[in-house]
């Protein structure tokens, strides 16, 4: 894989945060301003939406909504989803922003609380936005906002012998999200205000992770060669046949390879956007089921 491949340090940090689907969700830190339920969605800015949507349909399924006024699509991932839209001229293909579901979302009261805590907040009754110290955009929305996306209608998927094409993975939601930062102390304080006290992770120095409902948010130590951004997201999926999955993603134009543990942990889509899949109970330091 190319130069942005996961380092051993990053893999260990994520491994320490990996959780099984049946594992109990850690108690929410009462000191955080947000009563987050999960990563509700991630928004991708892609080069060719006509190619990106079929790519992600093949991976995660055909439950897709079309935004009627624009080319944007919404692809469901269990209680979460990904939004896919064409990149604007001159901008970089990327993970544009992340949205967090908020329990009993009330825009007016939440906006007031955030502003009192020193946050600059934009948005309306449907959603709010704050930027982290590096400019990473964070959206706050009602839990499972997939159910109430305005101006969107179902879009039929591809047909094969009269039936919908099978998805490579059965998605159960979001597992974790990783953010590259430029100043760890400053970013840690920002995310602490939102989510409460972090859990120290591995790395040198230790990298913090925050519990956002059932999803982990990891911060990566500053690195001269890595600009601040949302580095990747990981989708929680059912256990899968890694060699077979590798053949599929390679055939779709992704940049991928087997891990040392004998599974497919991460890959880069045809636009170079990094993502991962995590199966229940997975860590990145032990072999996949059936491997020795």
Q: Are 257 and 231 in contact (CB under 8 A)?
A: no
**Least confident interval from 25-34, 92-101, 185-194, 242-251:** 25-34
| Rounded percentage of the chain residues whose pLDDT exceeds 90 | 78
Per-residue pLDDT band at 261 (split at 50, 70, 90): confident
pLDDT digits (tens, 9 = 90+) for 44-84: 999 999 999 999 999 999 999 999 999 999 999 999 999 99
Which residues, in sequence order, are CB contacts of 290 under 8 Å at separation 6+?
Answer: none
Burial of 158 (0-12, 13-18, 19+ CB in 10 A): exposed
Residue entry with tokens 């704050």: 130
Q: Across all residues in the chain, what is the average pLDDT?
A: 88
**If you average pLDDT over residues 216-223, what whole number do you get?**
97
Domains and CATH numbers, the chain: 8-18+28-278 (3.10.180.10)
Residue entry with tokens 């911060």: 219
b/e sequence 191-201, b meaning 16+ C-beta within 10 Å = bbbbbbebeeb
**Least confident interval from 1-15, 175-189, 191-205, 234-248:** 1-15
Nearest to 150 by CA among 159, 142, 161: 142
Q: Are 97 and 91 in contact (CB under 8 A)?
A: no
Q: Are 271 and 73 in contact (CB under 8 A)?
A: no
- CA distances (Å), 121 to each of 124, 128, 132, 140, 179, in order? 10, 7, 11, 10, 20
Per-residue pLDDT band at 35 (split at 50, 70, 90): very high
Q: What is the largest CA-CA distance in the chain?
A: 58
Per-residue pLDDT band at 17 (split at 50, 70, 90): very low
Q: Are 196 and 210 in contact (CB under 8 A)?
A: yes
**If you average pLDDT over residues 92-107, what whole number do you get?**
97
| CA 239 remoteness from chain centre | 19
Which residues, in sequence order, are CB contacts of 139 under 8 Å at separation 6+?
Answer: 41, 43, 97, 98, 99, 100, 123, 127, 128, 129
pLDDT digits (tens, 9 = 90+) for 128-184: 999 999 999 999 999 999 999 999 999 998 764 444 568 999 999 999 999 999 999
As a whole number of angstroms, the distance between CA 82 and CA 98 comes to 9
Q: Are 172 and 39 in contact (CB under 8 A)?
A: no
Residue entry with tokens 């890959």: 267
As a whole number of angstroms, the distance between CA 78 and CA 82 comes to 11
- pLDDT for res 171: 97
């Amino acid at each position: 894989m190319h130069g942005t491949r996961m380092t051993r340090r990053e893999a260990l940090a994520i491994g320490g945060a990996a959780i099984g689907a049946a594992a109990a969700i850690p108690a929410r830190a009462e000191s955080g301003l947000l009563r987050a339920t999960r990563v509700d969605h991630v928004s991708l800015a892609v080069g060719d939406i006509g190619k990106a949507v079929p790519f992600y349909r093949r991976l995660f399924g055909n439950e897709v909504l079309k935004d009627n006024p624009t080319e944007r699509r919404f692809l469901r991932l269990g209680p979460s989803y990904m939004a896919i839209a064409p990149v604007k001229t001159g901008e970089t293909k990327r993970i544009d922003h992340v949205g967090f579901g908020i329990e009993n979302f009330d825009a007016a009261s939440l906006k007031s609380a955030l502003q009192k805590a020193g946050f600059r907040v934009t948005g309306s009754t449907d959603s709010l936005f704050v930027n982290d110290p590096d400019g990473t955009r964070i959206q706050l929305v009602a839990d499972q906002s997939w159910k109430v996306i305005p101006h969107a209608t179902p879009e039929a998927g591809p047909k094969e012998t009269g039936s919908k094409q099978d998805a490579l993975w059965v998605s159960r939601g979001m597992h974790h999200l990783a953010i590259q930062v430029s100043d760890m102390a400053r970013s840690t304080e920002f995310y602490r205000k939102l989510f409460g006290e972090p859990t120290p992770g591995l790395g040198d120095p230790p990298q913090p992770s925050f519990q956002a409902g059932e999803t982990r948010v990891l911060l990566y130590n500053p690195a001269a060669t890595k600009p601040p951004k949302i580095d990747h997201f990981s989708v929680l999926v059912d256990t899968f046949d890694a060699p077979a999955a590798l053949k599929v993603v390679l055939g779709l134009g992704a940049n991928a390879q087997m891990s040392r543990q004998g599974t497919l942990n991460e890959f880069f889509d045809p636009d170079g956007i990094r993502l991962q899949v995590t199966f229940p109970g997975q860590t990145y330091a032990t072999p996949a089921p059936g491997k020795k």
